[in-house]
């Protein structure tokens, strides 16, 4: 699969570095939500405000991702990942005084660190990954998200109980700084010399301009928005839906965890299938499964047996939580080689936008109608539109190829 052993070793280093960095940044971004009750009490704030903390992270990340191309060219991928780790550590340490303003500063700094993560890692991987293995490798890299979530959910409460919440914050911050030091030896061979990355600046809005200009990028860009909206909405509201159906909160959380575990296992499998079947076709199939899952979720009630609820969570696990790596591969396929980071920044930004719009739209529909079912139907319709667009784009491409 790889041209030579040296190339495979470089790829292994890039995969290891990007997974490790992304996992710990994701873990750090979830530390406040996981420890919300303890942290909010210490700061004298109501715990429900944690939703604004997460929203602010994604909002800032959507903007900071636009700066990735210039930062990547100026500093190189490993150095940029080190900068992200240092910023993440600073975002955690600023929480120590437990002041209300500290949460705002922490979310802003975390958002600045979070935004460049995917575009930078994708650009690095694209340089070393064979075309025949892109979806598999990008999907492998995306396992960092559930890994980071699992670490946040399992380790941070235990650390807080053992060391206190401040001890947990300091330890995770130190882990970020330690990882920044660990990947330093790889900088020379992965980033190249400084002269190679100092090239002309690209306009800040180039990522969105690129999507507007490149017709091939539009279907995957819209799918990133629609799929992100459903993915983050499911994560945010499904436990509540189950609670309304008579489930205990702890059991509802386990169902969501089940979906995440299934997605961790299936991401690489689906990536391998997409490398053979085609990225766009695979995305369309996953979009169809997402819509089906949303329409089924609209009918969840106390009459549903446990096995049906778990099967529904599994359906979301193999679709809504597995598409990102394949979406990145499809983006790279159509992006000009010198604008890969710009194209990835655009689709990632739209995913973040979906993370903001999806749960907000869901809550607005429930507030206006009192129906969780209608909210799921609306999001299912959004993913269905994205699926149809992907199918149409695939059909048009096949017609052009035949002619």
Q: For 285-322, give the DSSP string.
A: HHHHHHHHHHHHHTT--TTS-HHHHHHHHHHHHTTTTT
Write out the E strands in 132-263.
none
Q: What pLDDT was estimated at residue 210?
A: 85
- The region of weakest confidence among 50-64, 75-89, 125-139, 313-327 is 50-64
184 and 212 housed in the same domain:
no
Tell me the C-alpha distance between 318 and 278, whole Å. 17
Tell me the C-alpha distance between 369 and 375, whole Å. 9
151 and 84 housed in the same domain:
yes
Q: What's the burial of 180, exposed, middle or buried (CB within 10 Å: 0-12/13-18/19+)?
A: buried
151 and 124 housed in the same domain:
yes
| % residues pLDDT > 70 (the chain) | 93
Pick the closest to residue 115 from 40, 62, 174, 76 (CA basis): 62
Tell me the C-alpha distance between 187 and 395, whole Å. 43
Does residue 199 carry a pLDDT above 50?
no
Residues 6 or more apart from 360 whose CB is under 8 A from it? none
In a domain, 293, yes or no: yes
- The region of weakest confidence among 101-110, 176-185, 351-360 is 351-360
Residues 6 or more apart from 115 whose CB is under 8 A from it? 60, 61, 62, 63, 64, 65, 66, 67, 68, 348, 352
Report the domain count for the chain.
Answer: 2
In a domain, 196, yes or no: no
Looking at beta carbons, which pairs linking 395-401 to residues 24 or more positions away fall under 8 Å? Answer: 397/280
21 and 113 housed in the same domain:
yes
* Cα distances (angstroms) measured from residue 346 to each of 162, 171, 220, 262, 368: 41, 34, 10, 28, 32
146 and 279 housed in the same domain:
no
pLDDT tens readout for residues 26-63 = 999 988 888 877 888 888 888 767 767 887 888 898 88
Of residues 204 and 118, the one with the higher pLDDT is 118
Does residue 320 carry a pLDDT above 50?
yes
Asked if 294 contacts 254 with a C-beta cutoff of 8 angstroms, the reply is no
| % residues pLDDT > 90 (the chain) | 43
With a threshold of 0.75, does the pTM exceed it? yes
In a domain, 77, yes or no: yes
163 and 92 housed in the same domain:
yes
Pick the closest to residue 115 from 185, 57, 172, 173 (CA basis): 57
* Cα distances (angstroms) measured from residue 303 to each of 44, 174, 248, 312, 401: 41, 48, 15, 14, 50
Mean pLDDT value across residues 95-121: 92
Does residue 239 carry a pLDDT above 90?
no
Write out the E strands in 165-293.
none
Tell me the C-alpha distance between 14 and 141, whole Å. 10
- What spatial distance separates the first Cα and last Cα of the chain, rounded to whole Å? 31
The boundaries of the domain holding residue 340 are 203-403
Q: What pLDDT was estimated at residue 192?
A: 62
Tell me the C-alpha distance between 137 and 235, whole Å. 25
Q: What pLDDT was estimated at residue 6?
A: 61
111 and 238 housed in the same domain:
no
Q: 147, 169, 190: which is the final residue of a domain?
A: 190
326 and 378 housed in the same domain:
yes
Pick the closest to residue 385 from 287, 258, 242 (CA basis): 287
pLDDT tens readout for residues 371-382 = 889 999 999 999
234 and 321 housed in the same domain:
yes
DSSP state of 304: S
Q: Which residue has the tokens 């429900």?
A: 48
185 and 68 housed in the same domain:
yes
pLDDT tens readout for residues 270-311 = 999 999 999 999 999 999 999 999 999 999 988 899 999 999
Residues 6 or more apart from 140 whose CB is under 8 A from it? 15, 19, 267, 268, 271, 325
* Cα distances (angstroms) measured from residue 200 to each of 73, 196, 203, 290: 9, 11, 10, 41
Mean pLDDT value across residues 245-250: 76
Task: Return the CATH number at 94.
Answer: 1.20.1250.20
Residues 6 or more apart from 180 whose CB is under 8 A from it? 81, 82, 85, 86
In a domain, 197, yes or no: no
182 and 283 housed in the same domain:
no
């Amino acid at each position: 699969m790889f041209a030579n052993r040296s190339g495979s070793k470089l790829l292994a280093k890039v995969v290891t570095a990007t997974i490790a960095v992304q996992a710990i940044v994701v873990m750090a971004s979830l530390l406040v939500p996981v420890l919300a009750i303890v942290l909010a009490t210490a700061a004298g704030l109501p715990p429900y405000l944690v939703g604004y903390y997460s929203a602010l992270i994604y909002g800032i990340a959507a903007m900071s991702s636009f700066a990735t191309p210039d930062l990547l060219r100026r500093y190189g991928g490993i150095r940029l990942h080190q900068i992200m780790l240092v910023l993440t550590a600073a975002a955690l340490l600023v929480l120590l005084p437990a002041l209300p303003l500290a949460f705002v500063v922490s979310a802003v700094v975390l958002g600045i660190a979070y935004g460049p993560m995917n575009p930078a890692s994708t650009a690095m991987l694209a340089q070393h990954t064979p075309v025949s293995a892109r979806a598999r490798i990008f999907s492998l890299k995306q396992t960092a998200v559930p890994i980071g979530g699992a670490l946040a959910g399992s380790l941070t409460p235990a650390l807080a109980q053992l060391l206190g919440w401040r001890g947990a914050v300091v330890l995770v911050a130190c882990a970020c700084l330690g990882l920044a030091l660990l990947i330093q030896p790889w900088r020379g061979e992965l980033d190249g010399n400084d002269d190679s990355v100092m090239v002309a600046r690209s306009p800040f809005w180039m990522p969105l301009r690129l999507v507007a200009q490149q017709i091939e990028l539009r279907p995957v860009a819209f799918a990133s928005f629609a799929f992100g909206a459903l993915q983050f909405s499911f994560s945010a509201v499904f436990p509540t839906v189950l609670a309304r159906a008579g489930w205990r909160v702890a059991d509802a959380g386990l169902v969501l965890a089940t979906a995440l575990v299934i997605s961790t296992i299936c991401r690489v499998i689906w990536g391998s299938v997409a490398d053979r079947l085609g990225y766009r076709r695979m995305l369309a199939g996953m979009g169809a499964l997402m819509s089906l899952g949303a329409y089924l979720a609209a009918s969840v009630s106390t009459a549903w047996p446990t096995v049906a609820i778990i099967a529904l969570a599994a359906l979301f696990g193999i679709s809504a939580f597995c598409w990102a790596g394949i979406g990145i591969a499809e983006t790279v396929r159509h992006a000009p080689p010198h604008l890969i980071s710009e194209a990835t920044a655009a689709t990632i930004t739209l995913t973040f936008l979906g993370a903001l719009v999806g749960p907000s739209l869901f809550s607005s529909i429930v507030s206006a109608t009192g129906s969780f079912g209608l909210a799921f139907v609306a999001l299912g319709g959004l993913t269905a539109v994205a699926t149809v667009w992907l199918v149409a784009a695939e059909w048009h491409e096949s017609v052009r190829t035949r002619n």
